[in-house]
Amino acid sequence: MENKAEKKGGKKIKLILIGLIALIIVGAGGYFGYSKFAKDKGTQKTSTTSQTAQTTTQAQAKTNQNQNQSYLEQIVSEKNIGLDECLVNLADEDGKRYVKTKIFVGYDKNSKLETELTEKKPLIRDAVIAVLRSKKAAEITPKNMDNLKMELIQKINPLLKKGQINNVYFSDLLVQ
């Protein structure tokens, strides 16, 4: 009798183990199949989303450029201070391109800012050089000058505590 019970119990264990193994295999196959198909659809959605984001970004850049241009055209500084001549290597691949420029920063009448600009001239020149060094020769065009000016203003203003500059003027500009 014990032998019959053991055989009956052994058959049940075998059936349960076979069922579990089959369930694991079907579950793993379903998981990997779903992951593969969901990944492909997700990639398609991502590429469509990235194209939409790119288009939106380009439109925003164009709007920002127009806003920068109109902003800079409206601002005429009451005073300005020269930052001396800068000769900077550009970020082109061949490393043989450079820009030579004379820059003035414009601000409203504020004697405190004038003294601060004079005192911090080396820091401001360093910020200007850092911005120019990150550019390629193709980026320094008349079309992109307003963006470059805005980038310089955004880089210089955090350095100042007694006021803000409101414009950047290029006296000389040579890209070689």
Distance between CA atoms of residues 165 and 86, nearest Å: 19
Distance between CA atoms of residues 135 and 118, nearest Å: 26
Domain that holds residue 163: 79-175
Q: How confident is the model at residue 41 (pLDDT cuts 50, 70, 90)?
A: low
Q: Is the pLDDT of residue 5 over 70?
A: no
Over residues 83-94, the pLDDT tens digits come to 989 999 999 888
55 and 125 fall within a common domain? no
Greater model confidence, 75 or 163? 163
In DSSP notation, 90-110 reads ---TTS--EEEEEEEEEE-S-
**Type and span of the H or E element at 45:** helix 2-74
The total of structural domains in the chain comes to 2
Query: 20-24, 37-41, 85-89, 172-176: which range is least confident on average?
Result: 37-41
52 and 91 fall within a common domain? no
Q: Is the pLDDT of residue 117 over 80?
A: yes
Across residues 108-136, what is the average pLDDT?
91
65 and 88 fall within a common domain? no
The DSSP code for 84 is: E
113 and 69 fall within a common domain? no
90 and 123 fall within a common domain? yes
- DSSP SS3 for 163: coil
Q: How confident is the model at residue 37 (pLDDT cuts 50, 70, 90)?
A: confident
59 and 133 fall within a common domain? no
99 and 158 fall within a common domain? yes
Across residues 13-31, what is the average pLDDT?
86
Highest mean pLDDT among 23-27, 74-78, 134-138: 134-138
Last residue of a domain, one of 53, 74, 95: 74
Over residues 68-79, the pLDDT tens digits come to 555 566 677 788
Query: Which pLDDT belongs to residue 46?
Result: 47
Over residues 143-154, the pLDDT tens digits come to 889 899 999 999
Greater model confidence, 112 or 120? 120
